[in-house]
Protein backbone atom coordinates (compact mmCIF):
# COMPACT_ATOMS: atom_id res chain seq x y z
CA UNK A 1 0.00 0.00 0.00
CA UNK A 2 1.37 3.38 -0.96
CA UNK A 3 2.22 5.68 1.87
CA UNK A 4 0.59 9.07 2.06
CA UNK A 5 2.45 12.01 0.55
CA UNK A 6 4.53 13.74 3.21
CA UNK A 7 2.61 17.00 3.02
CA UNK A 8 -0.69 15.15 3.33
CA UNK A 9 0.30 13.00 6.30
CA UNK A 10 -2.23 12.90 9.08
CA UNK A 11 -1.10 12.88 12.70
CA UNK A 12 -2.63 10.43 15.14
CA UNK A 13 -2.28 10.70 18.91
CA UNK A 14 -2.08 7.29 20.63
CA UNK A 15 -3.06 7.34 24.30
CA UNK A 16 -2.43 4.06 26.14
CA UNK A 17 -0.35 3.01 29.16
CA UNK A 18 0.35 -0.46 27.75
CA UNK A 19 3.66 -0.19 25.91
CA UNK A 20 3.17 -3.30 23.71
CA UNK A 21 -0.11 -1.90 22.37
CA UNK A 22 1.46 1.51 21.71
CA UNK A 23 4.32 -0.15 19.85
CA UNK A 24 1.93 -2.18 17.69
CA UNK A 25 -0.14 0.90 16.86
CA UNK A 26 2.89 3.06 16.12
CA UNK A 27 4.34 0.42 13.81
CA UNK A 28 1.12 -0.11 11.86
CA UNK A 29 0.14 3.55 11.66
CA UNK A 30 3.56 4.64 10.46
CA UNK A 31 3.54 1.77 7.98
CA UNK A 32 0.30 3.23 6.58
CA UNK A 33 1.98 6.64 6.30
CA UNK A 34 0.65 8.43 9.38
CA UNK A 35 2.63 10.55 11.82
CA UNK A 36 2.18 9.46 15.44
CA UNK A 37 2.21 11.11 18.86
CA UNK A 38 2.15 9.20 22.15
CA UNK A 39 0.84 9.73 25.67
CA UNK A 40 0.72 7.25 28.56
CA UNK A 41 -1.75 9.08 30.83
CA UNK A 42 -4.84 11.23 30.50
CA UNK A 43 -3.29 14.51 31.62
CA UNK A 44 -0.47 14.27 29.10
CA UNK A 45 -2.96 13.29 26.42
CA UNK A 46 -4.98 16.47 26.96
CA UNK A 47 -1.83 18.62 26.93
CA UNK A 48 -0.51 17.07 23.72
CA UNK A 49 -3.91 17.16 22.02
CA UNK A 50 -4.44 20.87 22.72
CA UNK A 51 -0.88 21.80 21.77
CA UNK A 52 -0.32 19.62 18.70
CA UNK A 53 -3.93 19.38 17.46
CA UNK A 54 -3.71 15.87 15.93
CA UNK A 55 -6.05 14.80 13.14
CA UNK A 56 -7.38 11.83 15.15
CA UNK A 57 -7.00 10.44 18.69
CA UNK A 58 -6.92 6.79 19.81
CA UNK A 59 -7.82 6.93 23.48
CA UNK A 60 -7.77 4.16 26.07
CA UNK A 61 -10.26 4.36 28.96
CA UNK A 62 -8.20 2.93 31.82
CA UNK A 63 -5.37 5.47 32.20
CA UNK A 64 -3.32 6.85 35.11
CA UNK A 65 -3.69 10.46 36.39
CA UNK A 66 -6.90 11.04 34.39
CA UNK A 67 -9.09 8.34 32.87
CA UNK A 68 -9.88 8.29 29.17
CA UNK A 69 -13.49 9.38 29.56
CA UNK A 70 -12.49 12.51 31.49
CA UNK A 71 -9.73 13.20 28.96
CA UNK A 72 -12.21 12.76 26.12
CA UNK A 73 -14.54 15.31 27.65
CA UNK A 74 -11.74 17.87 28.13
CA UNK A 75 -10.37 17.39 24.61
CA UNK A 76 -13.80 17.54 23.02
CA UNK A 77 -14.47 20.85 24.76
CA UNK A 78 -11.70 22.45 22.68
CA UNK A 79 -11.14 20.24 19.63
CA UNK A 80 -13.51 18.74 17.09
CA UNK A 81 -11.25 15.94 15.84
CA UNK A 82 -12.35 12.29 15.66
CA UNK A 83 -11.80 10.43 18.95
CA UNK A 84 -11.78 6.62 18.94
CA UNK A 85 -12.04 4.96 22.34
CA UNK A 86 -9.84 1.87 22.81
CA UNK A 87 -10.57 -0.28 25.82
CA UNK A 88 -10.60 -3.83 27.15
CA UNK A 89 -13.88 -2.97 28.88
CA UNK A 90 -16.75 -4.15 26.74
CA UNK A 91 -19.55 -3.14 29.06
CA UNK A 92 -22.45 -1.31 27.43
CA UNK A 93 -22.36 1.51 29.99
CA UNK A 94 -18.75 2.36 29.12
CA UNK A 95 -19.49 2.40 25.43
CA UNK A 96 -22.52 4.66 25.86
CA UNK A 97 -20.71 6.96 28.27
CA UNK A 98 -17.77 7.31 25.90
CA UNK A 99 -20.09 8.30 23.08
CA UNK A 100 -22.05 10.65 25.34
CA UNK A 101 -18.83 12.49 26.18
CA UNK A 102 -18.07 13.10 22.52
CA UNK A 103 -16.19 10.04 21.27
CA UNK A 104 -16.85 9.17 17.63
CA UNK A 105 -16.15 5.46 17.77
CA UNK A 106 -15.43 2.62 20.19
CA UNK A 107 -13.16 -0.39 19.65
CA UNK A 108 -12.62 -3.09 22.26
CA UNK A 109 -9.39 -4.96 22.95
CA UNK A 110 -8.20 -7.29 21.66
CA UNK A 111 -8.89 -5.61 18.34
CA UNK A 112 -8.12 -6.51 14.75
CA UNK A 113 -5.44 -4.15 13.44
CA UNK A 114 -7.03 -4.34 10.00
CA UNK A 115 -10.45 -3.37 11.37
CA UNK A 116 -8.97 -0.55 13.44
CA UNK A 117 -7.11 0.86 10.42
CA UNK A 118 -10.34 0.76 8.41
CA UNK A 119 -12.16 2.69 11.13
CA UNK A 120 -9.34 5.23 11.41
CA UNK A 121 -9.44 5.86 7.66
CA UNK A 122 -13.22 6.12 7.66
CA UNK A 123 -13.24 8.64 10.51
CA UNK A 124 -10.49 10.71 8.89
CA UNK A 125 -12.39 10.73 5.59
CA UNK A 126 -15.54 11.96 7.29
CA UNK A 127 -13.65 14.63 9.22
CA UNK A 128 -12.02 15.84 6.01
CA UNK A 129 -15.28 15.83 4.09
CA UNK A 130 -16.85 18.54 6.25
CA UNK A 131 -14.14 20.95 5.12
CA UNK A 132 -15.65 20.99 1.66
CA UNK A 133 -18.96 22.58 0.74
CA UNK A 134 -21.51 20.00 -0.32
CA UNK A 135 -23.09 20.39 -3.73
CA UNK A 136 -26.38 18.60 -3.18
CA UNK A 137 -29.47 20.19 -4.65
CA UNK A 138 -31.16 20.82 -1.32
CA UNK A 139 -28.44 23.27 -0.24
CA UNK A 140 -29.33 26.86 -1.04
CA UNK A 141 -26.99 29.78 -1.46
CA UNK A 142 -27.97 32.50 1.00
CA UNK A 143 -25.77 35.57 1.05
CA UNK A 144 -22.92 33.53 -0.44
CA UNK A 145 -23.32 30.79 2.17
CA UNK A 146 -24.28 27.13 1.87
CA UNK A 147 -27.40 26.75 3.97
CA UNK A 148 -29.82 23.89 4.57
CA UNK A 149 -33.20 24.96 5.96
CA UNK A 150 -35.83 22.43 7.00
CA UNK A 151 -38.68 23.56 9.21
CA UNK A 152 -37.19 25.02 12.39
CA UNK A 153 -33.74 23.68 11.56
CA UNK A 154 -30.97 25.61 9.80
CA UNK A 155 -27.47 24.29 9.02
CA UNK A 156 -24.65 26.53 7.83
CA UNK A 157 -22.29 24.15 6.02
CA UNK A 158 -19.51 26.72 5.73
CA UNK A 159 -19.35 27.51 9.44
CA UNK A 160 -20.65 24.11 10.62
CA UNK A 161 -23.22 25.97 12.69
CA UNK A 162 -26.71 24.81 13.57
CA UNK A 163 -29.76 26.80 14.60
CA UNK A 164 -32.86 25.14 16.00
CA UNK A 165 -35.94 27.32 16.39
CA UNK A 166 -33.64 30.33 16.20
CA UNK A 167 -31.25 29.08 18.89
CA UNK A 168 -27.62 28.44 17.99
CA UNK A 169 -26.52 25.00 19.21
CA UNK A 170 -23.03 23.51 19.47
CA UNK A 171 -22.66 20.07 17.88
CA UNK A 172 -19.67 17.77 17.57
CA UNK A 173 -18.44 16.83 14.11
CA UNK A 174 -20.29 13.51 14.16
CA UNK A 175 -23.52 15.06 15.41
CA UNK A 176 -23.36 17.69 12.68
CA UNK A 177 -22.83 15.03 10.02
CA UNK A 178 -25.80 12.97 11.24
CA UNK A 179 -28.07 16.00 11.28
CA UNK A 180 -26.82 17.14 7.87
CA UNK A 181 -27.48 13.73 6.31
CA UNK A 182 -31.02 13.65 7.67
CA UNK A 183 -31.67 17.28 6.70
CA UNK A 184 -30.62 16.57 3.12
CA UNK A 185 -33.64 14.24 2.92
CA UNK A 186 -36.33 16.01 4.99
CA UNK A 187 -39.36 13.94 5.87
CA UNK A 188 -37.69 10.75 4.66
CA UNK A 189 -37.11 8.03 7.26
CA UNK A 190 -33.47 6.92 7.33
CA UNK A 191 -32.62 3.60 8.94
CA UNK A 192 -29.92 3.24 11.56
CA UNK A 193 -28.00 0.94 9.24
CA UNK A 194 -27.95 3.54 6.47
CA UNK A 195 -26.77 6.21 8.90
CA UNK A 196 -23.94 3.95 10.06
CA UNK A 197 -22.88 3.33 6.49
CA UNK A 198 -23.22 6.88 5.19
CA UNK A 199 -22.13 8.93 8.21
CA UNK A 200 -19.68 6.62 10.00
CA UNK A 201 -18.37 5.42 6.66
CA UNK A 202 -18.28 1.67 7.25
CA UNK A 203 -20.39 -1.25 8.34
CA UNK A 204 -20.54 -1.16 12.10
CA UNK A 205 -20.94 -4.89 12.63
CA UNK A 206 -24.53 -4.49 13.72
CA UNK A 207 -23.84 -2.03 16.53
CA UNK A 208 -26.71 0.34 15.79
CA UNK A 209 -26.75 1.48 19.42
CA UNK A 210 -24.16 4.07 18.40
CA UNK A 211 -26.74 5.83 16.22
CA UNK A 212 -29.29 5.93 19.04
CA UNK A 213 -26.79 7.47 21.44
CA UNK A 214 -25.72 10.10 18.91
CA UNK A 215 -29.34 10.99 18.09
CA UNK A 216 -30.09 11.34 21.79
CA UNK A 217 -27.18 13.76 22.18
CA UNK A 218 -28.41 15.80 19.21
CA UNK A 219 -31.95 15.93 20.61
CA UNK A 220 -30.71 17.20 23.95
CA UNK A 221 -29.22 20.16 22.09
CA UNK A 222 -31.84 21.00 19.46
CA UNK A 223 -35.16 20.07 21.08
CA UNK A 224 -36.95 22.15 23.69
CA UNK A 225 -38.62 18.99 25.01
CA UNK A 226 -36.70 15.78 24.32
CA UNK A 227 -39.68 13.69 25.41
CA UNK A 228 -41.77 15.32 22.68
CA UNK A 229 -39.35 16.11 19.83
CA UNK A 230 -40.52 18.42 17.05
CA UNK A 231 -37.46 18.44 14.79
CA UNK A 232 -35.66 15.07 14.90
CA UNK A 233 -38.35 12.40 14.92
CA UNK A 234 -38.17 8.65 15.56
CA UNK A 235 -40.08 6.24 13.36
CA UNK A 236 -40.30 3.38 15.82
CA UNK A 237 -38.61 0.22 14.65
CA UNK A 238 -37.34 1.88 11.46
CA UNK A 239 -35.13 4.94 11.95
CA UNK A 240 -35.15 8.74 12.09
CA UNK A 241 -36.23 11.73 10.02
CA UNK A 242 -36.31 15.53 10.12
CA UNK A 243 -39.76 17.09 10.36
CA UNK A 244 -40.56 19.44 7.50
CA UNK A 245 -42.89 21.69 9.52
- pLDDT of 40: 94
Rounded Cα distance, 194 and 217, in Å: 19
Rounded to whole angstroms, what are the CA distances from 23 to 15, 27, 28, 30, 195?
11, 6, 9, 11, 34
Task: Note the helical H segments in 32-154.
Answer: 42-52, 68-78, 92-100, 113-129
> How large is the average pLDDT for residues 170-184?
87
Beta strand 105-108 with 161-164 is unpaired
Highest mean pLDDT among 19-28, 133-142, 183-192, 227-236: 19-28
CATH 1.10.10.10 fits 140-242, yes or no: yes
- pLDDT of 130: 52
- pLDDT tens for 189-228 read 998 888 887 887 765 555 677 888 889 989 999 998 888 8
Tell me if domain 6-129 and domain 140-242 are identical in fold.
no
- pLDDT tens for 16-39 read 999 999 999 999 999 999 999 999
- pLDDT of 2: 45
DSSP sequence for 106-128: EEESS--HHHHHHHHHHHHHHHH
Domain ranges of the chain: 6-129, 140-242
pTM above 0.75, yes or no: no
Share of the chain above pLDDT 70, in %: 83
CATH topology assigned to domain 6-129? Rossmann fold (3.40.50)
- pLDDT tens for 53-77 read 999 999 998 899 998 888 998 898 7
Beta strands in the chain (DSSP E): 11-15, 35-39, 56-60, 83-87, 105-108, 140-142, 145-150, 153-156, 161-164, 167-169, 190-191, 232-235, 239-242
Nearest CA-CA partner of 164 in 151, 177, 147, 173: 151
H/E element, 88: none
Q: Any idea what the Cα angle at residue 225 is, between residues 220 and 226, rounded to 5°? A: 45
Rounded to whole angstroms, what are the CA distances from 245 to 151, 232, 241?
5, 11, 12
Amino acid sequence: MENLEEQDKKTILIVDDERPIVDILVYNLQKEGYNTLEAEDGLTAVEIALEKKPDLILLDIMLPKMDGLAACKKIRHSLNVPILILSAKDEEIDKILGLELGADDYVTKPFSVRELMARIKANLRKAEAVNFSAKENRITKTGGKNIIKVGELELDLDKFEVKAAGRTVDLTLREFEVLKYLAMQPGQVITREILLEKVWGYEYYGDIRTVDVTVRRIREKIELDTANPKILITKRGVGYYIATK
